[in-house]
Chain A
Amino acid sequence: DAGVTQSPTHLIKTRGQHVTLRCSPISGHKSVSWYQQVLGQGPQFIFQYYEKEERGRGNFPDRFSARQFPNYSSELNVNALLLGDSALYLCASSHAYQNQETQYFGPGTRLLVL
């Protein structure tokens, strides 16, 4: 079975630009979460979506937004990019949104902002 897939794998943007990252969950999983992992740190929670509804939001500015589609795939959008947005962005999927559910992570999208 295919795992969580993310695209693109790498991305280079300049400050002020906008970026869209994409995620396809494991087949049958209805929940998608997004995390930001800055170099040398643990992942930080950004959003969780379940059945197209936002179920959780971390401490990130409004420049970050996300949505989930009817096929349960998801997009993470970041506007007005800052140098500090350079990070590995991880998507994780799970069957449901409850906190004891195991989250399965994709390989990530590495974003570099110049």
Chain B
Amino acid sequence: AQSVTQLGSHVSVSEGALVLLRCNYSSSVPPYLFWYVQYPNQGLQLLLKYTTGATLVKGINGFEAEFKKSETSFHLTKPSAHMSDAAEYFCAVSRSNFGNEKLTFGTGTRLTIIP
């Protein structure tokens, strides 16, 4: 089985401040890890993903995440928040073997940007 825990259902940061959204995963096999963003009344858009190779992954809109196996974490960061970053963010995990389970999502973190 696999699961994702996102600490903090709501996070508020000031414009220009560091964004840190936390994600911890559980997986019985090496995981594939994803971050998606969801704007109001829209579907999900991929920000970045880790499959193999370099553990620091850069994504769109200035976001990046680091896969830390020892901490079972895949936290999302952005050095300087922008008003347009306000959205819901979901961390997701899938298995690196051909399991029946596909993407398993966390419960999401709503990011608010304070002007």
Contact = CB atoms under 8 A, between A and B. Distances in A.
B44 interface: yes
A44 B41 CA distance: 17
24 contacts: A4-B43, A33-B102, A33-B103, A41-B107, A41-B108, A42-B90, A42-B92, A42-B107, A43-B44, A43-B105, A45-B101, A45-B102, A56-B100, A57-B100, A58-B101, A90-B43, A90-B44, A99-B98, A99-B99, A100-B32, A100-B49, A100-B94, A103-B103, A107-B42
A1 B107 CA distance: 31
Interface of B: 4, 32, 36, 41-46, 49, 51, 90, 92, 94-108
Given A42-B108, A99-B95, A104 B46 contact: yes
A99 B43 contact: no
